[in-house]
Structure 1
Amino acid sequence: MHQEELAQRQANRIVRRHKRIPFQDNGRRMKRCLVALAGGPGSGKSTLAAMIAEKVSQQHVKCQVISIEGFMKPKAELSKQQMKRRGAIETFDGNAVLRMFRVLRERGPGHELRAPSFDEERRDPVQDDQLIEADTEAIIFEGIYLLADREPWNNIESLVDEKWFIHVRPELCRERVADRRTKKGICRTRDEALKQYDESDGLNNEFITKHRYQTDVIIENNEELSLWEPDGDEVW
């Protein structure tokens, strides 16, 4: 399956979900359609989320992508040991993520909300840098731990309409992350990038593969793309 085909199919799924949401007296839907898209480092979450959101918006349902990376704790709040494993679940503010989802559900459409972003150069979060606009009708949240079965992350399950997980073979994730870190200059050599993956990103990848709750769809993003139901039946 081509990436365009998969993005279109998932966009159609969001639009169908959105259309089933009842209207309020003011003409707005009772709630936004919220999607939790999770996957380990190198899974292609950001790229796929952006493509899907664009195709949703083309169907006259305004859709935004919000990254959870900004909820990583600032360096100043982490110990030396935590800094070595920055990116692990305990280095994120899961309670703040949960609060954001609860506020979204409480306020509904017609209200703005801000979320932090992550500054790649400073390697630290930037508060209130992502704006969820009042007229946004669907939101794709992308982040590694959105489907984690650990407190407080597991409380997100009841607050979203769709739960998607991107699975990539571990060895392919390793190559992709090493390539990205080398090209961006985060690591000086490929060997350094591979070592960094093995000591951090790879462990995070293993964690979320083992510790996630039930999903609606599994997206295989290896050399080829495919969609699977949780019971193992191929969707397309």
Structure 2
Amino acid sequence: MGPGRLKLTPQQALSRLVPHILEMESLAHKRIAIGLAGGPGTGKSTLAAELVTMLNATHPGSAALVPMDGFHMRHAKLEAMGQTDYKGAPHTFEGADFVDFLHHLKSATGVVSGPGYSRKIEDVVENAFAVQPEVRVLVVEGNYLLLSEGPFAGVRPLLDYAVFIDVPRELVRQRLMKRHGEEGLFTPERNAAHIERNDLPNYDLVSASQDRADVVIELVVER
């Protein structure tokens, strides 16, 4: 039996997820982690941020966003490895550090700060967010939360509930061209080549991990 599949708009998805998570939180005696996984360009970051906002509207200060993107390898390290063309692939993340961080977060009683990622500089930013002691729900967001191989395999056992966000591949391609073009760092030709060489293979790899989710949500979205 694979996970259940739901076809929902982002608002419908939030309306489904919020009460379910609130119920989980009320029954849990410790901090819980909710995973939102999906390929690049699927809108999971936006959904995760809105989920945190809605949870905090019900119970102020109870939810925090934990993005996987802060665990990109630093750009200088990727340059030294000759891997800048593959930035964003699983092997260009500090996967083991991310698993350790998540493990620590689940049992932490003090303030814990974590790294983020800035598309403006295409690099990691230290202390981009802080998880306060009163947080009860960690909303963890990233591409590789459900992988079964390599260091990322350690993430799934730490998630109390895992959601996979599914968006059609062609729409993802269009969104990524727009996203890569917004900061104006590279030419459209470079961006198109990067998407074909790196982003879409990563999307395909991530799609293959969706059976490890508790639920798959096919997002009904505008372009």
Q: Tell me, in whole angstroms, the C-alpha distance in 2 between the residues paired with 1:41 and 1:99.
A: 23
Please say if residues 34 and 139 of structure 1, whose CA atoms lie closer than 8 Å, have aligned partners that are also in contact. Answer: yes
Superposed displacement of residue 60, structure 1? 1.3
Q: Name the amino acid aligned to 1:136.
A: V
Deviations 1:49-105 (A, max 9, x none): 111111111221621112111100012222454111011000000110110121123
Deviations 1:140-197 (A, max 9, x none): 11111111111221122221211111111111110111122223324443x5433321
Please say if residues 37 and 165 of structure 1, whose CA atoms lie closer than 8 Å, have aligned partners that are also in contact. Answer: yes
Matched, 1:203 2:201: yes
Look up the match of 1:232.
Answer: none
SS at structure 1 position matched to 2:199:
helix
Q: Root-mean-square deviation (CA), in Å?
A: 1.9
5+ residue gaps, structure 2, are: 1-7
5+ residue gaps, structure 1, are: 23-30, 225-236
Q: Name the amino acid aligned to 1:17.
A: M
Please say if residues 164 and 215 of structure 1, whose CA atoms lie closer than 8 Å, have aligned partners that are also in contact. Answer: yes
Look up the match of 1:66.
Answer: 66
Q: What TM-score, normalized by structure 1, do the two folds share? A: 0.83
Which residues in structure 2 correspond to 1:20-169 (within 5 Å)? 20-22=27-29, 31-60=30-59, 62-78=62-78, 79=80, 81-107=82-108, 110-169=109-168
User: Identity of aligned pairs, percent?
Assistant: 26
More contact order relative to length (CA 8 Å, sep ≥ 6):
2
Superposed displacement of residue 3, structure 1? 2.3
Please say if residues 118 and 126 of structure 1, whose CA atoms lie closer than 8 Å, have aligned partners that are also in contact. Answer: yes
Q: What TM-score, normalized by structure 2, do the two folds share? A: 0.87
Please say if residues 119 and 126 of structure 1, whose CA atoms lie closer than 8 Å, have aligned partners that are also in contact. Answer: yes
**Which among 1, 4, 12 is matched to residue 11 of structure 2?**
4
Change (3 A) 1:153 1:213: farther
Q: Name the amino acid aligned to 2:76.
A: A
Superposed displacement of residue 40, structure 1? 0.8
Q: Tell me, in whole angstroms, the C-alpha distance in 2 between the residues paired with 1:222 and 1:193.
A: 26
